Structure 1
Amino acid sequence: MDWIRDHLWETWLGLGIVLGVAEMFSLDLILGMLAVGALVGMVAAVAGLAIPLQILCAAGASVAMLALVRPTVVKRLHSGPELSLGHGKLVGRTALVTADITGLSTGRIKVAGEEWSALPYDEHLSIAAGETVEILQIKGATAYVHPVARLES
């Protein structure tokens, strides 16, 4: 126990290293925050503060890291681009009508270099070839589309 008291900053540094290594195995970002608290305790020991103040500094820094830093880091790590796979990635995209589309007959559209059969989302609409449409839904191999409004000049 006397060795620890004589080498407080080394003890805090060792604790920080052990917690940091343990964090690499857990990847929860909890032990890493505690490791930062231990490093703050080390700085307090180097500054010559009493042991209770070192412990308070380490605990305060750990709690602050857990409450303020960890949520932001976790949110940033878990966010990312939304990945759409299959035909779902085409919903919301615009396409060019290559064959007339009516509620009674299936037409054709070209989107992302592929030809798809298409029906109007509103069965009372007729969409002429050459129009631009937005894909609202895909069922099977048929895209349900709606014309994109154009500005008339």
Structure 2
Amino acid sequence: MNTDIYFWGWLILALVFLAGEIVTAGFFLAAFGVGAALAAVAAMLGMNIVWQLAIFVFISSVALLLSRRFAESVSPSEQPVKVGIDRVLGKKAVVIEPLDAMHGTGIVRVNAEEWRALPEDGSQVIPVNSIVEVVAVKGTRLVVRPVE
């Protein structure tokens, strides 16, 4: 009778872990699901609860280590996606209104967005249709330098 209770307990626990893995990311809960499934097999074979727990802990640990290695090997090692103002840093832009730091005027187009901008060299005037690179952000304005 105890064998049946432990078997069903481990099996339900395995299903809960595997269902949890479906709604989360990272291969974290799947390792515990595998451990619980093998503990259910141990319960079905009549092993006592100490062995079942040992199998659960050991198999879960091994599966967790292996799943981490697998996840690292298949996940792309790209740079994280930049959001907000960080996404324009380092981008090329086109001057659509002359940049003049002395008068605080000038607009550039980065991708399809228009931004107020200032030249990096405060005494420089950058004419329309020049290509510039965004090097920093100062308040709500981009700081740019001409691309050579």
**TM-score, normalised on structure 2?**
0.62
Q: Distance in 2 between matches of 1:37 and 1:109?
A: 57
2:129 counterpart of 1:130: yes
- Residues 128 and 42 from structure 1, CA distance in 2 versus in 1: closer, same or farther, beyond 3 angstroms? same
Alpha-carbon RMSD: 4.0
1:109 maps to what in 2?
108
2:89 alignment partner in structure 1:
91
Whether the 8 Å CA contact 1:12–1:38 is kept in 2: the answer is: no
Do 1:40 and 1:58's aligned partners in 2 also have CA atoms closer than 8 Å?
yes
Change (3 A) 1:118 1:53: closer
| 1:3-152 aligned within 5 A | 3-5=1-3, 7=4, 11-18=6-13, 20-21=15-16, 24=20, 33-44=31-42, 48=45, 50-51=47-48, 54-69=52-67, 81-82=80-81, 84-85=83-84, 87-105=85-103, 106-149=105-148
| CA distance in structure 1 between the partners assigned to 2:35 and 2:113 by the alignment | 56
Q: What SS does the aligned partner of 2:118 have?
A: strand
Q: Secondary structure at the match of 1:107?
A: strand
Task: Tell me how many residue pairs correspond in the alignment.
Answer: 138
* SS of equivalent to 2:115: strand
Query: Alignment partner of 2:33: what SS?
Result: helix
Gaps of 5+ in 1: none
Identity percentage over the alignment?
Answer: 27
Q: Distance in 2 between matches of 1:143 and 1:31?
A: 45
Residue 120 of structure 1: how far off its partner (Å): 0.8
